Structure 1
Amino acid sequence: MRLVSMIAVFAVMGGVAMAQSPSTSEKLGINSALGIAPATQDFVTEAANSGEFEIQSSKLALDRGDQVSKTFAEQMITDHQKVGSQLKALVQSKNIKVTIPDGVSSSQQSMLDKLKSLKGADFDKKYRDDQYSGHKSTLALFERYAKSGDNPDLKQWAEQTAPALQRHLKMAQELNGSASN
């Protein structure tokens, strides 16, 4: 009964949030909690933002991280630059009417600012935690869009990209289990 009440509250909040901004329910995690696919613009925005966060945070790791973090960071930069290029090319070639953001979200910028203030083991711990949580939420985003997204080309791309994100999540989980130096 309590679960039904929570779902009803999320549904009402989602309706209110949708009236305010098309991406609010996605940003608040309501869509994710209910297993609802994001709108196409929300998917593209969140996919681009998360990829850019991976690149920027991993560039910091190349400067501040231990060798284990640096090795992981190199892979993240390479892979997420490739995925970002694929997204831009797909949107352009299929003339999908969305805007691809250039940077990160405000919450991701706060995370980057926090990382910039850390060094040594504190940096590695925060970087590794961010990588795990970021890949977990990004994988869920891609899986929801692949299952129920409304643009067939993006839906197929999300489905094709999800296994790489699953590998990244597993790598991030292993990274979190390794000892910091």
Structure 2
Amino acid sequence: MNRLALLAAFASVALCSAASAQSVGEKTGVNSVLGVAPTTADFVREAAISDMTEIAASKIGQERGNAAEKTFSAQMITDHTKTSTELKALVAGGVKATLPVGLDEASQKKIDKLKNAKAEDFSSDFDSMQVSAHKDAVSLFERYAKGGEDPKLKDWAGKTLPHLQHHLDMAQNLNKKK
């Protein structure tokens, strides 16, 4: 009985502290595994951080990448700047969520890893990061498009999803061009 009470107390604290940032289900990846739609707040936060991370990584890719990575990076900067602008407009237009002002710790670590990668490791690190990031983005947008709370945001997620799926295909092809 003591263990159950302790577990319940821990869960309550975890949920309360996460409410101000990100839900436990989204943060741990449980929602993704179960195919559960993120809350509007989680979706906006994750989509915005995904865009910021993608833009930052692609700027590094333009500087340090091979020809294919430079071309890919230019496309990512253009496309993710566009989706960032669209998301900001949706939030300004009434979507009840707060946009993050910077990268979270995990995303910043990924960017730092790319910045500090040895020349011989850069392509491998960059390419695998792009595949992973776009798989996550496809999952996020797919889940919100199917079961999101806000109709305008849900529609936008559905319209954006094919572009992200194309980005994933492009990222997977970076590995094949070696």
TM-score by length of 2: 0.88
AA matched with 2:31: N
The two structures, once aligned, show a CA RMSD in angstroms of 1.6
Q: Is the 8 A contact 1:66 1:120 kept in 2?
A: no
How many Å apart are 1:17 and its aligned residue?
4.5
Q: Which residue of 2 aligns with 1:138?
A: 137
Q: Is the 8 A contact 2:40 2:96 kept in 1?
A: no
How many Å apart are 1:16 and its aligned residue?
7.3
Alignment deviations for residues 146-167 of structure 1 (CA, whole Å, 9 cap, x no partner): 0000011100000000000000
Question: Does the residue aligned with 2:99 lie in a helix, a strand or coil?
Answer: coil
Q: Which residue of 2 aligns with 1:152?
A: 151
Matched, 1:18 2:20: no
How many Å apart are 1:104 and its aligned residue?
1.7
Stretches of 4+ aligned residues off by more than 3 angstroms: 13-20
TM-score by length of 1: 0.87
How many Å apart are 1:20 and its aligned residue?
3.8
Identity %: 49
Matched, 1:71 2:68: no
Cα distance 1:81–1:145, how it changes in 2: closer, same or farther (>3 A)? same
Cα distance 1:14–1:176, how it changes in 2: closer, same or farther (>3 A)? farther
Question: Does the residue aligned with 2:103 lie in a helix, a strand or coil?
Answer: coil
Q: What are the ranges of 5 or more consecutive residues in structure 1 without an aligned counterpart?
A: 1-12
Q: Which residue of 1 aligns with 2:4?
A: none
Alignment deviations for residues 127-175 of structure 1 (CA, whole Å, 9 cap, x no partner): 1100000000110000000000001110000000000000000000111
Give aligned pairs, total. 166
Question: Does the residue aligned with 2:96 lie in a helix, a strand or coil?
Answer: coil
Q: Which residue of 1 aligns with 2:166?
A: 167
How many Å apart are 1:29 and its aligned residue?
0.3
Cα distance in 2 for residues equivalent to 1:159 and 1:17: 31
